[in-house]
A and B are shown apart, each in its own frame.
Chain A
Amino acid sequence: MSSENQTSFTDIPEAIASVSGTDRSVSMTVDSELYPLQAVYGASYIFIDRCYVFIDRPAAGSYRITLSAKESVEEVEALRRIVGEFANELLSCTWRHQVTQDNRVAIETVTVQAIAGAMGEPSLDDLADFDFTDEALDDPLGIAQSWEEKHGRPSPGPSPEAKAEADADAEPKADTEEASA
């Protein structure tokens, strides 16, 4: 366990987390290969009622999570409990992340059936209230756009044959416009 300043937790393995403590905060640096970012978010989030939570990347391949207690922490033991609880929650979130990926189909199937079973079929009133004017596809990154639309390049011009044909088609229209004018 590396200890940058006054607090050290001799029973927490250095290989898993490095801890530096002040009177009310602890920082843990964890290996990003062992713990996915989603798990770090999940574990950190449950502390926001008790701590201010800061996440950064001090170096490639690691996340640093700093938990700063909202209320004064009198004892080193209290900080140790926070570190320990965070580590347990992080492990739990990491394993859940894996388990959820493994069982995704089963989880989604049960969830969809449960919600659909509770909601039932939409009534005519529900359908009448449905906003059909919404865009069919929400595409903020422009994935569904063509390369030309996305990057503003002019689309390739029509072939010479097609252009000649279009010009021919346009002539009577011009005559008509002139006549009507």
Chain B
Amino acid sequence: MKPINLAEIKPRPGTQAFFRWRQIGDDAILITNLEGNWLILTVEEFTQFARGESTPDSPLHERLLDKNFLRSNYDVQAASERVKARKYFVHGGPLLHVMVVTLRCNETCVYCHASRANMDQVDTDMSIETARKAVDLALSSTNGFITIEFQGGEPLVNFPVVKEIIEYATERNKEIQKRLEFTMVSNFALLTEEKLAYLLANKVQLCTSIDGPEELHNAQRKLPVSHNAFQAAAGWIKRVNEAYIEIGLDPTLYHVEALLTTTKATLGKWKEVVDTYVGLGCKTIFLRPVDPFGFAERARLRLEYPRGEYLEFYRKSVDYMIELNKQGVEILERYAAIFLTKMLRGEDPNFLDNRNPAGAGIGQLAYSYDGKVYSCDEGRMLAATQDQTFCLGDVDTPYRKIVGHETIRAMVIATNLDQQPDCVNCAYNPYCGTNAAYNYKAQGSVFGRMRDNNVCAVHKGIQDYLFEKLAENDPEVMAIFERWTTIRPREHFVQEPGRTPELESDLEAAPSEA
């Protein structure tokens, strides 16, 4: 890409309102404003705009006017309403409550050392007393929607406590009356028909990990005895999807989704990764880069890669997914969907690690097996390496002390992009977010330095790719992007206030019986 020459353009204040800009192609300049409106201009159009010389009644003037880029007609009311809509989550309080019911795990993954324990370390199981107190704390949240997410270790290892949390939370919620949801991230290897029946009856949304094709998955995730972690997960994905159909759920909406951890070995296998996910019936791939939490320095060298290589992988993967969509295959990339929802709809899907300010403490809390409470799951993983920076107290600490903790205040400020050098001038500011725990781990402070920050590089690279696609304006691609931003809530998994899962199942069963 040939950079534009600002010395030749000679920008000066004129008719334009506040804007940020970024070149995304030889003849394509993106401009964005405070409230997240955007336009892609040619160099000639950008030159006129930057000089404050857009001519009234010209097509460019109309476009600028329509998107609130002109000072004389700046619609303050419209701008404030859009900013308010984008930041609706700020007042919400914690909705995601990650419960680490054990550190024990039946699999050994190359990227996960510090935050797991061997199967004989029963002292890393959460007790029932701690679990109940964690539920009490979670239900104290000001948020009217509570998601309790079971994590580990492998949560199925401590299934009695999973059941206790589900049943105690459901019982307590009869009085508290929140919208309640349970999700579980599991490798499925310890799932049984009996456990599945319980999880289905209690509307627990199931999610697993797939690292790509069988050979790669099994190389990265070691499962003793069978030595085939992939088949263990794949078999249960199929079975759970069948079970959803058996209870009358729409399979296009209700199916198991999986999480990918992209390591150095994944980068060359972009096509195989996408094909594997499509083959398993997944409709979403989250192309997550490996993060620095939980593994040793020696493993880091083996697994990490320059983010430029990751972005090449990302582009090839999503290009391929777009081609598959054109052929009628329904598959979307999660990062793209998150950013596109902000760009195209002016809404925030409330993905906690990619919002401004981020969700640590004010959108999520993590409860460790030992009762300690952390600002986020990353903070909990750091504690596994003897760094308690993000510990807010324990399950006996009053709720208001937890969320009013000085660490939370620091994290809210640190992830506010209006205080972040680089972000304040970045065209992607309205759609982006930073992660304080990542910054702390990678760069030594919750603020970080965006110019040499890997999360920033990934976010910028993905948004570059998406705006390039938007600049091309291919109707087929635009229709696919439109679909990717259409949120279809999975209401089945939400337990409405005052309705127990069993009761709701009966009600849902009634029409088909009739």
The verdict on A143 contacting chain B, using a C-beta distance below 8 Å, is no
Chain A residues within an 8 Å CB radius of B403: 115, 118-119
**In contact, B362 and A114 (Cβ under 8 angstroms):** yes
Q: When A92-B447, A110-B87, A110-B412 are in contact, do A99 and B400 touch as well, CB less than 8 Å?
A: no
Which residues of B, 426-452, contact A by the 8 Å Cβ criterion?
Answer: 443-445, 447, 449, 451-452
The verdict on B416 contacting chain A, using a C-beta distance below 8 Å, is yes
Q: When A47-B444, A118-B362 are in contact, do A107 and B418 touch as well, CB less than 8 Å?
A: yes
The verdict on A140 contacting chain B, using a C-beta distance below 8 Å, is no
**In contact, B92 and A117 (Cβ under 8 angstroms):** yes
**In contact, A99 and B412 (Cβ under 8 angstroms):** no
Chain B residues within an 8 Å CB radius of A119: 93, 142, 400, 403-404
CB distance from B14 to the nearest CB of A (A): 22
Q: When A106-B418, A118-B142, A122-B400 are in contact, do A111 and B93 touch as well, CB less than 8 Å?
A: no
The verdict on B478 contacting chain A, using a C-beta distance below 8 Å, is no
Residue numbers of B with Cβ under 8 A of A are 87, 90-94, 141-142, 357, 361-362, 398, 400, 403-404, 408-409, 412-413, 416, 418-421, 424, 443-445, 447, 449, 451-452
The verdict on A57 contacting chain B, using a C-beta distance below 8 Å, is no
Q: How far is the CA of A116 from the CA of B408 in the complex (A)?
A: 12
| Chain A 94-122 interface mask (CB, 8 Å, partner B; 1/0) | 01100110010011001101111111101
**In contact, B419 and A107 (Cβ under 8 angstroms):** yes
Chain A residues within an 8 Å CB radius of B92: 117-118
Q: How far is the CA of A113 from the CA of B357 in the complex (A)?
A: 11
**In contact, B418 and A96 (Cβ under 8 angstroms):** no
Q: How far is the CA of A65 from the CA of B87 in the complex (A)?
A: 41
**In contact, B443 and A111 (Cβ under 8 angstroms):** no
**In contact, A113 and B90 (Cβ under 8 angstroms):** yes
CB distance from A80 to the nearest CB of B (A): 16
CB distance from A155 to the nearest CB of B (A): 42
Chain B residues within an 8 Å CB radius of A110: 87, 90, 357, 412, 416, 418
**In contact, B362 and A117 (Cβ under 8 angstroms):** yes
- Kindly list the 8 A-B residue pairs having the minimum CB-CB distance in the complex, ordered from nearest: A46-B444, A117-B91, A120-B142, A95-B421, A118-B403, A118-B93, A103-B418, A118-B362
Q: When A49-B444, A115-B404 are in contact, do A107 and B413 touch as well, CB less than 8 Å?
A: yes
Q: How far is the CA of A89 from the CA of B450 in the complex (A)?
A: 11
CB distance from A34 to the nearest CB of B (A): 15
**In contact, B142 and A117 (Cβ under 8 angstroms):** yes
Chain B residues within an 8 Å CB radius of A89: 444-445, 449
**In contact, B357 and A118 (Cβ under 8 angstroms):** no
CB distance from B12 to the nearest CB of A (A): 21
Considering only CB atoms, which chain B residue lies closest to A93 in the complex? B447
Considering only CB atoms, which chain B residue lies closest to A91 in the complex? B421
The verdict on A38 contacting chain B, using a C-beta distance below 8 Å, is no
The verdict on A2 contacting chain B, using a C-beta distance below 8 Å, is no
CB distance from A51 to the nearest CB of B (A): 11
The verdict on A42 contacting chain B, using a C-beta distance below 8 Å, is yes
Considering only CB atoms, which chain A residue lies closest to B401 in the complex? A119
Q: When A95-B421, A115-B409, A117-B90 are in contact, do A107 and B444 touch as well, CB less than 8 Å?
A: no
Q: Within the complex, which residue of A42, A45, A114 is in contact with B91, where a contact is CB–CB below 8 Å?
A: A114
The verdict on A3 contacting chain B, using a C-beta distance below 8 Å, is no
Considering only CB atoms, which chain B residue lies closest to A103 in the complex? B418
Chain A residues within an 8 Å CB radius of B400: 119-120, 122, 126
CB distance from A97 to the nearest CB of B (A): 10
CB distance from A72 to the nearest CB of B (A): 18
Most buried by A among B443, B444, B451: B444
Q: How far is the CA of A35 from the CA of B130 in the complex (A)?
A: 49
Q: How far is the CA of A47 from the CA of B445 in the complex (A)?
A: 10
